[in-house]
Amino acid sequence: MTRYLTLGLLAEGPEDEIFLSTLAIRQLTRLAARAPMPFDVADTVQRGEASTARTAHVRLCEEAQDLATTCDLLLVHNDHRERAKIDKLRQDAAPPFDCRMVAVVPVRETEAWLLADCGLLRSLPGAVTSALPWAGEPTGAQVERVSDPKALLAAVLPGYDTRTLAELLGQRVDLDRLHTLPGYQRWCAELTNALKELHFL
Mean pLDDT, residues 159-185: 94
Calpha distance 8→10 (Å, rounded): 7
Mean pLDDT, residues 73-91: 85
Q: Does domain 3-109+181-197 have CATH number 3.40.50.2300?
A: yes
| Range in 79-83, 86-90, 98-102, 191-195 with the lowest mean pLDDT | 79-83
Contact criterion met (CB below 8 Å) for 46 and 8: yes
Q: How many CA atoms lie within 13 A of 14 on its CB side?
A: 5
pLDDT greater than 90 at residue 48 = no
Q: What is the pTM of this model?
A: 0.92
pLDDT greater than 90 at residue 86 = no
Calpha distance 177→11 (Å, rounded): 23
Calpha distance 164→73 (Å, rounded): 26
pLDDT greater than 80 at residue 80 = no
Calpha distance 80→189 (Å, rounded): 17
pLDDT greater than 90 at residue 94 = no
**Which pLDDT value is given to residue 195?**
96
Calpha distance 128→76 (Å, rounded): 33
Q: What is the mean pLDDT of the chain?
A: 92
Residue type at 114 in one-letter notation: L
User: Percent of the chain at pLDDT above 90?
Assistant: 73
pLDDT greater than 80 at residue 1 = no
Calpha distance 172→175 (Å, rounded): 9
pLDDT greater than 90 at residue 26 = yes
**Between 109 and 159, the higher pLDDT residue:** 159
pLDDT greater than 90 at residue 40 = yes
Domain ranges of the chain: 3-109+181-197, 111-176
Q: What is the DSSP letter of 163?
A: H
Residue 8: Cβ within 10 Å count: 25
pLDDT greater than 80 at residue 176 = yes
User: Percent of the chain at pLDDT above 70?
Assistant: 99
Q: What is the DSSP letter of 148?
A: -
